[in-house]
A and B are shown apart, each in its own frame.
Chain A
Amino acid sequence: MTKLTARNVNVFYGDAHALKQVNLDIRQNEVTALIGPSGCGKSTFLRCLNRMNDLIEACRVEGNICLDGEDIYDPAVDLVYLRARIGMVFQKPNPFPKSVYDNVAYGPKIHGLASSRAEMDDIVTSSLERAGLFEEVKDRLGAPATGLSGGQQQRLCIARAIAVCPEIILMDEPCSALDPIATARIEALIDELKQNFTIVIVTHSMQQAARVSQRTAFFHLGDLVEVGDTDTVFTKPVDPRTESYISGHIG
């Protein structure tokens, strides 16, 4: 089932045409990987999906992006609510300078998702559990989050994102600052999370795209060149530009 649909999406940074006529469907409970060389538009596209580009002054987005059939660029859309439905995890772990507990509780608190301390405890515990972090931090929930390791911090950010029960999680190179073991943990987590969430991940690692995603979209110079099942894209890509990029050819 399609969760998000992008139709004729064009993005401009001032005069620069960063994304050209992109049409892409994101399917529910699947991991979609966006790959392509630097500057191809994949992160730009990811940021269109929860209107993060609104924060960039010179950025103009045209076209249509619908979540469950509703236009997310409709002026009536409540941005805070939209971003609760479509959460985001960034390249560098960015925990708040607060305790582990408060990092996870922050979102549910501002969205009023818990009516008692006990309910909040439940949300924090289950979010940490789903992020595969609870066992490691259960004895230091009050300790500052910045004291955790990089991989733990990133899982904390994932716990923080899922604490508000989003439908979609956007990930912008979530493992690029992590070592291989922390990366493998996050990848295993992504695989589990797809049962409950729809995930879109931007990655520079083609092996990572191959390992975690069901669908892969290849961007090049602002064009969406090819989108297909990940196993097809990596064994028998259709477009010669995709073939060139994934097999490490020049040009």
Chain B
Amino acid sequence: MMNDRAEHISKAFDEELRLLNNRLAEMGGMAEAQLAGAVEALCRSNAELAERVVVRDKEIDALDLEIDMFSVRLVALRQPVAADLRTIFAAIKISSDLERIGDLAKNIAGRTLAISRFPPLPTTVSIASMATVVQSMIKQVLDAWTARDTQSAADVCARDVEVDQHYASLFRELLTYMMEDPRNIGPCTHLLFVAKNLERVGDHTTNIAEQIGYVVLGTRPPDRQTHDPTNALVPEADSQ
């Protein structure tokens, strides 16, 4: 992205912005890998992999802190304006969204350890297909950030609806299992949190996509409709 813009008179500032972009890309790659690991561990009941995901979350947290401190330093020392200023503020926000995605992946991995004690439920397939959508959104948003591609970023925002639909259908599916057999309540509750976590990852990914629009165009998109389709869902009273 630096190539299509004129360089700064200060070469050192160019170098610092490049470093910021590289750190963010690195962090994005880690968040992507952590989520993939967490989902794989869950679907294959791989406790060892889950453990590794939990431990590695510290690396993302450290990068988030590093990006924050580095950005504060850039603002103080370079007094950036215009696109440079927008880039640095976007980097701070994106890094905290990635940090949250890391936390959610860690949470999913943590639940894997609890769920693996129960016999497997058929919902794993639905979880896996929801995760596939979320993971491809993350990949797309990271590519869009590198290319400063607002069209692709807008596409990511639009795809969040798909995630919400997956979440609503998983919610119904899990309710059904719980009503069928109270012994399912334990694992289903954990899976419900997993689905909610994936839905949140979709939201953070959308936040990142919006930052791309802000960096390039200088404007924020209008507030998106955050509507949880499960709010209105209740188990039928007569089906108890």
Closest to B214 in A: A236
Residues in B whose Cβ lies below 8 Å from that of A116: none
B1-48 at interface with A (beta carbon < 8 Å): 5-10, 13
Which A residues touch B9, using CB under 8 A? 248-250
B79 neighbours in A (Cβ, 8 Å): 207
Q: Is the CB of A248 within 8 A of B10?
A: yes
Measured CA separation A234–B82 after assembly (Å): 5
Closest-CB distance, A217 to chain B (whole angstroms): 16
- A248 near B82: Cβ-Cβ < 8 Å: no
Chain A residues with Cβ below 8 Å from B93 are none
Give the shortest distance, in Å, between A2 (CB) and chain B (any CB).
Answer: 27
**Closest-CB distance, B4 to chain A (whole angstroms):** 12
Question: Are the C-beta atoms of B218 and A244 separated by less than 8 Å?
Answer: no
Residues of B within 8 A of A236 (CB): 82, 86, 218-219
Min Cβ gap A79→B in Å is 39
* Given the contacts A235-B218, A236-B218, A249 and B81 also touching, CB distance less than 8 Å: no
A237 at the interface (CB under 8 A from B): yes
Q: Are B10 and A243 in contact (CB under 8 A)?
A: no
Partner of A250, one of B8, B80, B81, B84: B8
Chain B's closest residue to A249 (CB) is B6
In the complex, B128 has a CB within 8 A of chain A: no
A251 in the interface (beta carbon within 8 A): yes
Task: State how many angstroms separate the Cβ of B74 from the closest Cβ of chain A.
Answer: 12
A237 vs B10: C-alpha distance when bound (angstroms): 20
Partner of B7, one of A207, A210, A246, A250: A250
CA gap between A236 and B86 in the complex, in Å = 9
Rounded to whole Å, the gap between the CB of A250 and the closest CB of chain B is 6
Is B83 at the interface (CB under 8 A from chain A)? yes
Instruction: For B84, give its contact among A207, A210, A242, A247 (CB under 8 Å).
Output: A247
CB < 8 Å: which of B5, B81, B219 contacts A246? B81
The answer to whether A59 has its CB under 8 Å from any CB of chain B is no
Given known contacts A235-B218, A236-B218, A246 and B82 CB-to-CB distance under 8 angstroms: yes
Whether the pair B218, A248 counts as a contact (CB closer than 8 A) is no
**Are the CB atoms of A247 and B7 closer together than 8 Å?**
no
Bound CA–CA A246/B86 (angstroms): 14
Q: Is B85 in contact with chain A by the CB < 8 A criterion? A: yes
CA A210 to CA B83, docked complex, whole Å = 16
The reply to whether A247 and B83 contact each other, CB–CB distance below 8 Å, is yes
The reply to whether B5 and A249 contact each other, CB–CB distance below 8 Å, is: yes
Given contacts A247-B80, A248-B13, contact A235 B7 (CB under 8 A): no
Q: How far is the CB of A125 from chain B (nearest CB, A)?
A: 39
The winner among A206, A234, A237, A247 for most chain B CB atoms within 10 A is A247
Binding site for A on B (CB under 8 A): 5-10, 13, 79-86, 218-219
20 additional contacts, CB 8 Å, given A206-B81, A207-B79, A247-B80? A234-B82, A235-B82, A235-B86, A235-B218, A236-B82, A236-B86, A237-B82, A242-B82, A243-B82, A243-B83, A246-B82, A247-B8, A247-B81, A248-B8, A248-B10, A249-B8, A249-B9, A250-B6, A250-B7, A250-B9
**A residues near B, CB below 8 A?**
206-207, 210, 234-237, 242-244, 246-251
6 closest A-B pairs (Cβ-Cβ)?
A236-B218, A249-B6, A234-B81, A246-B81, A243-B82, A251-B6
- Jot down 17 A-B pairs with beta carbons below 8 A, ordered by A: A206-B81, A207-B79, A236-B82, A236-B86, A236-B218, A237-B82, A244-B6, A246-B81, A247-B8, A247-B80, A247-B82, A248-B9, A249-B5, A249-B6, A249-B8, A250-B6, A250-B8
